[in-house]
């Protein structure tokens, strides 16, 4: 067993020696059998949250209404979730009503796909009620039970099918696929935030182009924010050679560039997707940098504005888009910028006021921006006397109305 499981074994043993059942479940079991690295280890148990809390010294109520308690053990945190069924699905959304149960079978039955419905005992024995192991071998995403019923219960599962197909480079079982096509319109009922998470993970998987193709074939693409207005852009991405993206900034950078969006349109699209402001700004910077790369190469000001980390992301997207760039040279030019951030400018607002060049007020920021830009473009050295003098020159020209 991988180290993550070995570390968690005492937690399972503690639960079991109190007379309950406990298993590893979910993605970590699936990924271990596939030989993939795992991040978090999820545990399912017959004990109720209060019973779990009595067994361990340190726990955190991370989602107690859903039956989840985080157990802290030797510096690691494990989510222990009570076996449960979900009932009363309304509006095609995940129910907020869960019933705690004592049977593992019922808990596995509510899970989305056969490969996600495996459980593993503390000794490594796998419980496989729905032929998940066969599906892992055949590389198939197949709904647990009747796919039509399962997508009616929770329409997000359709996006999850595409997400896992892309992540693992699996196919979607034909019955499951046709149920998605039948029910794709139900995606419109799902909170955008939940679609966002699955979509970004899909795009960061190993076969994002197949994921997009599946979204087109099943018409899911029509029920996620805005995409149906940009089908030529989607087609362009599908037609790219195989690529791999590292984070959500790269995902939205690639999409916005392929859709041909300007700053305002990027912000409009991503607001519909309920993206964080930080994501919107990062995407705008990446797209600006990509456009300059294609047009005439990056200028120094853009290197500065983009910053090292997003420049790295930009290079990644450029690679995905098959834009040829000398990445080493770009990063070298960045390293050689006279300043990397505002604070490295040899002068600040206080200095300008002390020297009697300007009074406090909005003018200050404007002048500092100009000084910053002459330094970044290499027109003047970054030293205080030079910049003070330049500030005086700018202001006297302006006051003469030049
Ligand atoms: P990842 O490695 O990306 O975390 P995961 O399989 O752990 O993959 P999660 O979204 O973390 O995926 O969900 C954990 C488990 O909970 C899944 O493996 C599945 O068994 C179950 N699950 C999650 N979401 C749903 C859902 N909408 N419907 C049914 N079961 C679900
Ligand atoms: Mg998980």
What 3-state class would DSSP assign to 119? strand
Class of CATH domain 1-138? alpha beta
Ligand 2 centre distance from Cα of residue 206 (Å): 17
Query: What is the atom index within ligand 1 of the atom nearest the CA of 154?
Result: 27
Query: Nearest C-alpha to atom 21 of ligand 1 is from which residue?
Result: 111
Residues with CB under 5 A from ligand 2 (ion): 27
Query: Nearest C-alpha to atom 16 of ligand 1 is from which residue?
Result: 26
Residue 178 has a pLDDT of 98
Mean pLDDT of residues grouped by 10 in the chain (402 residues)? 91 97 97 93 96 96 92 94 83 75 94 98 96 98 98 97 98 98 97 98 98 98 98 98 98 98 98 98 98 93 96 97 93 95 93 92 91 95 95 91 68
Residue 337 tokens, joined: 């910028």
Query: Nearest C-alpha to atom 2 of ligand 1 is from which residue?
Result: 27
Pocket of ligand 1 (CB under 6 A): 26-27, 94, 111-112, 116-117, 154, 156-157
Q: Where are the domains of the chain?
A: 1-138, 342-399
State the complex-level ipTM: 0.99
Give the max Cα distance, the chain: 88
Which sign does the torsion angle of CA 190, 195, 198, 199 carry? positive
358, HSE (Cβ side, Cα atoms, 13 Å) = 25
Residue 402 has a pLDDT of 60
Residue 96 has a pLDDT of 66
Residue 398 has a pLDDT of 87
Ligand 2 centre distance from Cα of residue 28 (Å): 7
Residue 298 has a pLDDT of 94
Measured between alpha carbons, how far is 300 from 376 in angstroms, rounded to an integer? 6
What 3-state class would DSSP assign to 346? coil
Ligand 2 centre distance from Cα of residue 235 (Å): 30
Ligand 2 centre distance from Cα of residue 112 (Å): 13
Contact assessment for residue 327 and residue 360, using Cβ atoms and an 8 Å cutoff: no
Query: Nearest C-alpha to atom 26 of ligand 1 is from which residue?
Result: 112
Q: Residue 250, Cα to own-chain centre: how many angstroms? A: 10
């Amino acid at each position: 067993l991988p180290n993550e499981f070995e570390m968690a074994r005492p937690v399972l043993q503690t639960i079991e020696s109190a007379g309950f059942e406990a298993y590893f479940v979910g993605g970590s079991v699936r990924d271990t059998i596939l030989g993939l690295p795992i991040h978090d280890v999820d545990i399912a148990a017959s004990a109720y949250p209060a019973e779990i809390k009595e067994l361990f010294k340190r726990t955190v109520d991370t989602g107690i209404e859903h039956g989840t308690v985080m157990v802290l053990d030797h510096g690691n945190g494990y989510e222990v979730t009570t076996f449960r069924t979900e009932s009363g699905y309304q509006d095609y959304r995940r129910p907020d009503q869960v019933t705690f149960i004592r049977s593992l079978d019922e808990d596995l039955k509510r899970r989305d796909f056969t490969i996600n419905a495996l459980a593993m005992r503390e000794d490594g024995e796998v419980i496989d009620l729905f032929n998940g192991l066969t599906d892992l071998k055949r590389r198939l995403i197949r709904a647990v039970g009747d796919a039509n019923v399962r997508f009616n219960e929770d329409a997000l599962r359709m996006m999850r099918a595409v997400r896992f197909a892309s992540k693992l480079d699996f196919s979607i079982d034909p019955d499951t696929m046709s149920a998605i096509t039948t029910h794709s319109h139900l995606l419109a009922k799902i909170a955008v935030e939940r679609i966002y998470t699955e979509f970004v993970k899909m795009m960061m998987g190993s076969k994002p182009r197949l994921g997009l193709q599946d979204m087109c074939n099943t018409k899911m693409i029509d029920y996620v924010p805005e995409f149906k207005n940009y089908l030529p852009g989607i087609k362009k991405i599908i037609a790219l050679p195989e690529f791999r993206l590292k984070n959500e900034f790269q995902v939205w950078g690639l999409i916005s560039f392929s859709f041909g969006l300007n700053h305002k349109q990027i912000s409009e699209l991503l607001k519909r997707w309920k993206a964080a402001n930080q994501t919107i700004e990062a995407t705008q910077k990446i797209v600006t940098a990509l456009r300059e790369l294609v047009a005439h190469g990056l200028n120094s000001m853009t290197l500065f504005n983009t910053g090292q980390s997003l420049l790295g992301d930009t290079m990644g997207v450029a690679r995905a888009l098959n834009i040829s760039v000398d990445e080493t040279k770009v990063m070298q030019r960045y390293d050689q910028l006279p300043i990397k951030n505002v604070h490295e400018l040899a002068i600040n607002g206080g200095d300008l006021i002390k020297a009697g060049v300007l009074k406090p007020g909005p003018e200050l920021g404007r002048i500092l921006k100009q000084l910053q830009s002459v330094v970044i473009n290499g027109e003047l050295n970054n030293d205080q006397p030079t910049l003070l003098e330049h500030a005086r020159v700018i202001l006297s020209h302006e006051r003469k109305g030049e």
